[in-house]
Chains A and B, each alone.
Chain A
Amino acid sequence: SQQGEEDPQALSIQEGENATMNCSYKTSINNLQWYRQNSGRGLVHLILIRSNEREKHSGRLRVTLDTSKKSSSLLITASRAADTASYFCATDATPGTYKYIFGTGTRLKVLA
């Protein structure tokens, strides 16, 4: 069963606009990680946010975490065509276990 559900499933925006993707999960977590995947390629780690953190920034990326709502959002500012990819969140489904469960992903398309 899916730990995470991402929303929207697909997003199409113009270059320069901001893109916001959301991830919801079901169980308590220690951390949540966001990944980017270009079609058929590897998963690139973007950012990790811990359960005691509310917001993290990395370049044009801003991630928030609301543990009371069991949700996280990834904001990409000033998007570029190169940001076109699928974005996944992954959670350590049960703290103390050695596995990450992925959400269903958001396919982002940035139009030049």
Chain B
Amino acid sequence: GQQVMQIPQYQHVQEGEDFTTYCNSSTTLSNIQWYKQRPGGHPVFLIQLVKSGEVKKQKRLTFQFGEAKKNSSLHITATQTTDVGTYFCAGPPTGNQFYFGTGTSLTVIP
């Protein structure tokens, strides 16, 4: 089945530093989605990428979809304490199942 791997698993940064999480798939993806889950909260849909090489920005967040559509990244510029949480990527359904990545837990040190 589809494997979606995320690295790193944990990341601690000083406030103001940049942060990047990577998502890698063993198969070509038709699209990829990103979600954020705050501690004690629920996942929140951030964005969906569809096109090869696509880059989308949401304020300080930059999302990229690789040319081969097998990997994706989320980059946060100048992190703030409000960025704390776990960031998940998710591939399109395999059959009817959605596979979420293992997540990257971001801690921002003030």
Q: Do A and B come from one complex?
A: no
Q: Which residues of A contact B (CB under 8 A)?
A: none
